[in-house]
Structure 1
Amino acid sequence: MAYRIGGPALLDHVRAEVPEGLRGVAERASARGQAAIYLLSGSVAIAVFVVADAIREESRAAVDALHAAGLEVAMLTGDAEPVAKAVAADLGIDTVFARVLPEDKALRVRTLQEQGKKVAMVGDGVNDAPALATADIGIAIGAGTDVAVEAGHIVLVRSDPRDIPRIVSLSRATYRKMIQNLWWAAGYNIVAIPLAAGVLSAWGVVLTPAVGAVLMSASTIVVAINAQLLRRVEI
């Protein structure tokens, strides 16, 4: 006799028979936000195990910070829908995709992208690797598998979810700094190039090559100093 172990998706796949007593245990567990794992003998469930994830306080802080940054938070999970919704309600997650098979995670990411959304995917397992590679930004948990780390664009070395909103803050600050430097460089050159070409020579103002070289270097120094100010950004 073959034995199998799995969640609700396995029951649907093999059309398993679940005794009423085991079904009641699973339903009560789902109502509490816990997951039911079934042991099957052939196509009959003979036992059910109830497990629950401990929600980290860091996760709550991370979700709150992402909301404060104006971002929508979604959860992709293979857990049953009642369990997923209970966890999402506890954390304040906006959208839940429950009972998602590993091969479907990348498809869910592509669906969101087709809706015009920019997607950042956070994951730590082999099953997350395709979705990490598909997302606009893949953020791998440092304590996860090597496959996930290699597929991600960013690796959270400390495995702290609060670093995710910090990444958002740093990227936005970097973009603002880039725009500042572009405007500075463009404005500086718009003024300096005509001066170097002698536009004020009629009034006796002429820039020597040495002065032009100094002014050009000064422009580069200002841009570099402004970029270094990113170190002072609080994230």
Structure 2
Amino acid sequence: MTTQAQDKLIIFDTTLRDGEQVDTIHNNCFASPGVTLNTEEKVEIAKHLSRLGVDILEAGFPVASQGDFEAVNQIAKEVGPLMAGREKIGKPMLRDSSHKIQVICGLARATRGDIEQCYDAISPAPHKRIHTFLATSDIHLQYKLKIDRDECVKRAVEAVTLAKSLTGDVEFSPEDAGRSDRDFLCHVLGKVIEAGATTLNIPDTVGYNTPEEYGSLIKYLVANTPGGNK
């Protein structure tokens, strides 16, 4: 990580994705009770987030339902252009004009169907990001995905490679990173960087780590992930 990178605070807002949790199951993706918003409400919130100067707006999980797809797509159409010209509607968070660009992001599991549908949803936005994720903890690999570590690496690389072929801005999250073997996590992250990931998100999915443990994990990943200084 460079000194220049450390000097910049970049805000990734997931109000419209992780913030909207409903008591349903979509495509085997479990969610907890929370709030449900319609497309019009999501677009309105997205516009306010843009005016506040959010740098990356995660608009939703397009494959979760037709409604989610339509909401993300509408945000990409209506709010994406606003975010591309943020300096005209709100004060940029960063002084450097090269960092005024804002991004519409969609979430996708590490599968071709998810990634392609995600891209279709966000495609109207001038600046777009695909955020794909795959579990890396042994407990998730064994009991949820029923795959070994080699297959995990293969799927992660394939997902990032596909996403990169659609858009230059690709984020990867190792689901349940907090319970993942640190060295294996470094290996996976190094491989997805090599495949073209431009942002790495390290989620403590089940709230397993204390703040001190989580800080230690991030420090370890920064120091030991191949290509992590890019």
TM, length-normalised to structure 2: 0.27
State the TM-score, normalizing by the size of structure 1. 0.27
Q: Which has the higher helix share?
A: 1
Structure showing greater Rg: 1
Q: Which has the higher contact order (CA 8 A, sep 6+)?
A: 2
